[in-house]
């Protein structure tokens, strides 16, 4: 029953990622090993949606990884997020696509390798893509968080006019703050 084995490996990995007891670094290593094992059965051809989910989970584990080379961990995460996006498309699975785009944007913002300016541009592009699905009416909290992420990216942006980048950062922060205040006010009443 290979499919059940792979599902169990993925679930075990998820448990290791959430584990409170034990050494955190070792728990993440166990999660990476279990996700990798699951991917030996959960292939893109046989089970594309499960494969993409496992790729996203593996990428998340690499982003949190304590052991190993940090730059290489981020590269592994970017590769896995990018792989997941070959199946998790906007048309087929819009919310998962937007989440993966957001995760990819975060990885590019933390990326050590490559050209810093280009990494920020890729982060802005992925965050902007996520906003196609994360609209203020459909996903207000996610939209506000993505606006904040974009503000941070524009604040760090190297390309373009510095004054314009700061104005974009202010605009995205203001939009995030405005919706956050509305949501906070609505929760009180």
Query: For residue range 154-189, what is the model confidence (pLDDT) as tens digits?
Result: 999 999 999 999 999 999 888 877 776 666 656 655
d(CA 180, CA 177): 5
Q: Are 37 and 9 in contact (CB under 8 A)?
A: yes
What's the CA gap between 164 and 147, in Å, rounded? 16
> Half-sphere exposure of 66 toward its Cβ, with a 13 Å CA cutoff?
10
CA distance 184 to 63: 30
pLDDT score at 2: 84
Listed residue (100, 103, 183) closest to 144, CA to CA: 183
Regions of the chain where pLDDT drops below 50: none
* pTM: predicted TM-score of the whole model, two decimal places: 0.89
Q: Is residue 77 within 8 Å of 63, Cβ to Cβ?
A: yes
What is the spatial distance between Cα 55 and Cα 62, in angstroms, rounded to a whole number?
10
């Amino acid at each position: 029953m290979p499919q059940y084995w792979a599902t169990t490996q993925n679930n075990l990995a998820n448990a290791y990622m959430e584990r409170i007891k034990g050494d955190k670094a070792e728990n993440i290593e166990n999660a990476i090993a279990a996700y990798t094992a699951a991917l030996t059965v959960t292939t893109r051809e046989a089970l594309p949606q499960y494969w993409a989910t496992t790729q996203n989970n593996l990428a998340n584990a690499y982003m949190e990884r304590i052991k190993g080379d940090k730059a290489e961990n981020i590269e592994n995460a970017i590769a896995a997020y990018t792989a997941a996006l070959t199946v998790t498309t906007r048309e087929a699975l819009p919310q998962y696509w937007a989440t993966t785009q957001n995760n990819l944007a975060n990885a590019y913002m933390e990326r050590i390798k490559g050209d810093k300016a280009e990494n920020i541009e890729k982060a802005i592009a992925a965050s902007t893509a996520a906003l196609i699905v994360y609209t203020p009416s459909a996903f207000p909290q996610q939209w506000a968080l993505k606006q904040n992420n974009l503000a941070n990216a524009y604040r760090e942006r190297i390309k373009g006019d510095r004054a314009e980048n700061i104005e974009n950062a202010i605009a995205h922060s203001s939009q995030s703050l405005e919706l956050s205040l509305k949501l906070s006010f609505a929760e009180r009443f």
